[in-house]
Structure 1
Amino acid sequence: MRLLLPAGTTETALIDGISAAGATPELMVQTPSADVEILEYGEPTTAPVTPVSPTGCPTPAAVTRAVREVIDFDCVVIDAGLARSTGAPTVDLGVEAGEDVREFEAVPDAAAVFDRAHGFGSSLPDDEIVIGETVPGGTTTALGVLTALGEPASVSSSLPENPLERKRRVVDDALEASDLEAGDCAGDPLAAVRAVGDPVQTTATGIAAGALESGTRVTLAGGTQMVAVAALLRHADVDAPLSIATTSFVADEQGDRLERACDRLDCKLTVTDPGFDEGDHVAMERYCAGEAKEGVAMGGALSIVPDGEMGAVRDRLEVVCDRLGIDANGASPAVGDDPESEPRAEADREP
């Protein structure tokens, strides 16, 4: 099994109240770069930020890294519009960062990106791949795409209280800016991404489409952002078997809405509970309290943990957190006397 992680940015994340991926725009755009370094090396290397909330909840990259240290798996990072360079090795598909969805076009080159990603996906030698994502602002763009496609739309948040109405207002403004109404892009997925999506979506969709058409089994690792990718695939007439793997944190928040979405899109749903309620580290406590929930292929990574090994993953997460400077009581490099002066974890990752 190989994990593929498209990583990118979108100016949608800079809309006030949409994402808390950083206290400043400069910190926010660094988050995906830091995520992929944590996944590859276990800690940031060149990125000047460790994505940790003021309460001690680390980026889901820490969980995915913990799984990788326990069971090991291959990982490929795809530059899907990174606004800042990363020290991790990446596949460069020539993807630009996304624009604000309230502009006329959020991803002007969506079709070209899809084509390049499709070629990459179809060339993979694997029997099975897992596709994740890291992109601040991603649940808002997921809501935009689902709405443009005419799909029943509900998205998650890494905040305990999901600012869904604020996201819907942004999507309404985005559709108006693109002269669209809900459902106008049904059957035309690239038009939906071009108008109100982000570059990570079209990259993930293209890779998945190419891989599926070449006979590779594909699991989309994530929650409602990957529901949007699944919807894009189905609206592109890709009818091959498809799976979505997410965490119990997303499933608990979404209730039966997630199951209904997967049924509607003919996707097998796997939900994994990492048993964080059995731990006493602040990171696990914050996940159980409703922070973070998903992202950086966390649900997909947890879904491949063998029976009996989840306790080892929890133990390893503590080691990763210690490496990131997060102690068991919540002290972290992201919390200072003035919380607004330090980086904060994503509010819109599932993210």
Structure 2
Amino acid sequence: MRLMLVAGTTRTAAVDGISAAGATPELRWHTPSADAELVRYGRLVRSSFVPVSPTGCPTPALVTRAVVELLGLDVVVCDGGLAKPTGAPTVGFGAKPGHDVRDPDPVPTAPGAFAAAKAFAERLNEDHLVVGETIPGGTTTALATMRALGEPYPVSSSLSDNPLARKEELAEAALAASDLAPGESAHHPELAVRFAGDPVLAVVSGLAVGALESGTRVTLAGGTQMVAASALVRHAGSVAPLELATTSYVADHVDLAPAARDLDLDRTVTDPGFADERLSEYATVGREGAAMGGALALAQRAGALDAVEGRALALLDSLVGDGVSGDTDGDREGTRGP
């Protein structure tokens, strides 16, 4: 089994009021690169800050890393359009950072990245692939992608209050800019992502389609962004069993049942039961990300769920002890090696 984290960026994250995946719009540009290092190594390498929300809630990547350590998981980081360098080794598929979803062609590398990721996954020869994502602004691009496919499902938010109406406006603007009618990209997933999505969705869906076609069990580890990825998989023609593993924080925020039914998804929801205030804030801010939901599901199946909180807090304390926080300007590159 492998845990694959697809890390990338979209200029959509700079839109005011749609993302808490970074303390400021500029820092959101660095979040995926730092998340990749945290999940891969449990510490920062080139990045100089731990991604936090504007309220100070730490990145879910810490929870994912805690599970990686507890279960000894094999982690592969995929470059799904990173804008800033990361110290984590990555597998690349030609994805470049996404433009604002309201641009006429926001993800021109999507078709090629989808095809390359699909071919890669077909040759992996794994029994189980768990695929997660880290991309600020990704729920907005996920919504626009689903509207391009003709899918009606809502998305969640990393913010305490979900600005869904604003995201719908952005999705409408995205389709208008690309001269797409809702549903016009049905059964053409690579085009839906190219004209209304982000590069991470292209890589995630390509990996899932390729793995499923090779007989590999696939778990999409995340929330409503992975609903969009699931829709892309189905529109690519795959009918193989597919699992969506997320947190109770997302499931309590958005009704996932209609999408799970219509897209034929095995839905797994895990409540980590976090008590410490630094992690319990995920219930209202963050909710999901960096494969946290999938990692927690694996921990629960292994009987290790109760140990996750302590390990995550130890990781957070070690990072604070190193003098690393979310308050830097994000322009420095650290010198700590793996």
TM bucket (normalised to shorter chain) is over 0.9
When the two chains are superposed, the root-mean-square deviation of aligned CA atoms in Å is 1.9
Partner of 2:11: 11
* Change beyond 3 A, Cα 1:157–1:302: same
Partner of 2:266: 268
Q: TM-score, normalised by structure 1?
A: 0.89
Moved beyond 3 Å, runs of 4+ = 20-26
Letter in 2 for 1:302: L
1:302 aligns with 2:332: no
1:118 aligns with 2:114: no
Identity %: 54
- Deviation string 1:126-150 (CA, Å, 9 cap, x unpaired) is 1111010011110000000111111
Q: Is the 8 A contact 1:10 1:137 kept in 2?
A: yes
Q: Is the 8 A contact 1:9 1:83 kept in 2?
A: yes
Partner of 2:151: 151
Q: Is the 8 A contact 1:118 1:211 kept in 2?
A: yes
Structure 1: gaps spanning 5 or more residues: 336-340, 344-351
User: 2 CA distance for matches of 1:148 and 1:308?
Assistant: 40
* Change beyond 3 A, Cα 1:217–1:308: closer
1:1-351 alignment, distance < 5 Å: 1-254=1-254, 257-276=255-274, 279=275, 281-288=276-283, 290-305=284-299, 306=301, 308-325=303-320, 333-334=325-326
- Tell me the CA shift for residue 282 of structure 1: 2.3
* Change beyond 3 A, Cα 1:88–1:332: closer
* Change beyond 3 A, Cα 1:83–1:274: same
- Tell me the CA shift for residue 23 of structure 1: 4.8
User: 2 CA distance for matches of 1:61 and 1:243?
Assistant: 20
Question: Relative to structure 2, which stretch is displaced further, 261-270 or 8-17?
Answer: 8-17
Q: TM-score, normalised by structure 2?
A: 0.93
User: 2 CA distance for matches of 1:56 and 1:22?
Assistant: 9
1:77 aligned counterpart, secondary structure = strand
- Tell me the CA shift for residue 307 of structure 1: 5.4
User: 2 CA distance for matches of 1:232 and 1:145?
Assistant: 9
Letter in 1 for 2:288: E
Letter in 2 for 1:39: V
2:30 aligned counterpart, secondary structure = helix
2:226 aligned counterpart, secondary structure = helix
User: 1 CA distance for matches of 2:55 and 2:287?
Assistant: 14
2:158 aligned counterpart, secondary structure = coil
- Tell me the CA shift for residue 106 of structure 1: 1.2
- Tell me the CA shift for residue 186 of structure 1: 1.5
User: 1 CA distance for matches of 2:171 and 2:41?
Assistant: 36
* Change beyond 3 A, Cα 1:113–1:307: closer
- Deviation string 1:325-350 (CA, Å, 9 cap, x unpaired) is 29xxxx98335xxxxx767xxxxxxx
1:250 aligned counterpart, secondary structure = helix
- Tell me the CA shift for residue 54 of structure 1: 4.6
User: 2 CA distance for matches of 1:23 and 1:58?
Assistant: 10
Question: Relative to structure 2, which stretch is displaced further, 157-166 or 137-146?
Answer: 157-166
Equivalent pairs, count: 329
Structure 2: gaps spanning 5 or more residues: 331-338
Q: Is the 8 A contact 2:222 2:289 kept in 1?
A: yes
1:182 aligned counterpart, secondary structure = coil
User: 2 CA distance for matches of 1:119 and 1:262?
Assistant: 26
